[in-house]
């Protein structure tokens, strides 16, 4: 292991890691929003939009992120929309992640039995109140493992961003290997940085899971 080399390129990797995290988190945030929107459309059974959502989910889940990215990166300019590579990365992640998040939310909602809803409305709560105070907190707690698995999956998927010349961790590692051939150091750094990013996310996930099982409702 060439330690002086590692020390020299560390700042490069740090910058790349920040880019990965920034795009990753923004992409995931939008993925959650897309997922929530899809869940709402499905839950409320809105006619036409429902089919749009189903089509989107099939498309998004059954095509590789790389292809989705190419479509956004090379396709958007063709219809006159110019954006940065970074924005394309975020959009790609949101497009891919939205469907995964929607599925995670759905499995949570489905796991809360219909009779819990009946129990809530029998007490005189409105449908909305029953959803807000009884169904949603339980569904959310059940969804957390799925959501966190998606977060990790999406963060890992960011490694294909190098294909649209985003200087993320993968790009940097490949670039360095190409320049100096010190494969061992570069791959070790790559693994180390991904771990540094992903381990805290995993831990946060278990923590959230434990906390969400026991909810309160605002006075």
Partner 1 sequence: MAEPVLTIEHLTKEYDGQTVLKDVSLQVHEGEVIVIVGPSGSGKSTLLRCINALEDIQGGEIRLRGQKITAGAKNLPQIRQKIGMVFQSYELFPHLTVMNNILLAPMKAQKRAKEEVQAEAMALLTRVGLADKADSLPRQLSGGQKQRVAIVRALCMHPEILLFDEVTAALDPEMVREVLEVILQLAENKRTMLIVTHEMPFARAVADRIILLDDGRIQDDTDPEEFFESPKTELAKRFLQSFEYTRTRKSDD
Q: Which residues bind partner 1 (CB under 8 A)?
A: 115-116, 118-126, 129, 133-134, 137-138, 141, 213-217, 219
* Residue number with CB closer to partner 1 (48 or 115): 115
> Could you tell me the smallest distance in angstroms from the CB atom of residue 139 to partner 1?
10
* Residue number with CB closer to partner 1 (91 or 112): 112
* Residue number with CB closer to partner 1 (83 or 126): 126
CB crowding 120-149: b at 16 or more within 10 Å, else e:
beeeebeeeebbeebbbbbbbbbbbbbbbe
> Could you tell me the smallest distance in angstroms from the CB atom of residue 137 to partner 1?
5
Q: What angle do CA 143, 149, 155 make, to 5 degrees?
A: 130
* Terminal C-alpha separation, the chain: 59
> Could you tell me the smallest distance in angstroms from the CB atom of residue 30 to partner 1?
28
Hunting for tokens 């880019």 — which residue is that? 19
* Residue number with CB closer to partner 1 (124 or 178): 124
> Could you tell me the smallest distance in angstroms from the CB atom of residue 218 to partner 1?
10
Tell me how crowded residue 21 is: count the other CB atoms within 10 A of its CB: 18
């Amino acid at each position: 292991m060439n330690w002086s080399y590692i020390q020299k390129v560390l700042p490069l990797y740090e910058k790349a890691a920040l880019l990965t995290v920034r795009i990753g988190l923004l992409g995931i945030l939008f993925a959650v929003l897309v997922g929530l929107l899809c869940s709402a459309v499905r839950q409320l059974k809105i006619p036409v939009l429902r089919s749009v959502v189903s089509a989107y989910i099939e498309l998004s889940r059954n095509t590789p992120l790389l292809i989705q990215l190419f479509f956004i990166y090379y396709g958007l300019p063709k219809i006159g929309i110019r954006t940065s590579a970074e924005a394309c990365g975020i959009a790609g992640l949101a497009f891919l992640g939205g469907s995964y998040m929607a599925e995670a939310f759905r499995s949570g909602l489905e796991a809360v039995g219909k009779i819990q809803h009946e129990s809530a409305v029998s007490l005189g709560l409105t449908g909305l109140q029953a959803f807000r105070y009884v169904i949603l907190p339980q569904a959310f707690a059940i969804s957390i493992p799925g959501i966190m698995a998606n977060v990790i999956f999406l963060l890992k998927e960011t490694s294909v961003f190098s294909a649209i010349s985003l200087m993320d961790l993968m790009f940097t590692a490949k670039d360095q290997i190409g320049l100096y051939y010190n494969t061992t150091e570069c791959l070790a750094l790559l693994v180390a940085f991904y771990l540094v990013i992903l381990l805290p996310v995993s831990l946060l996930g278990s923590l959230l899971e434990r906390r969400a099982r026991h909810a309160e409702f605002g006075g």
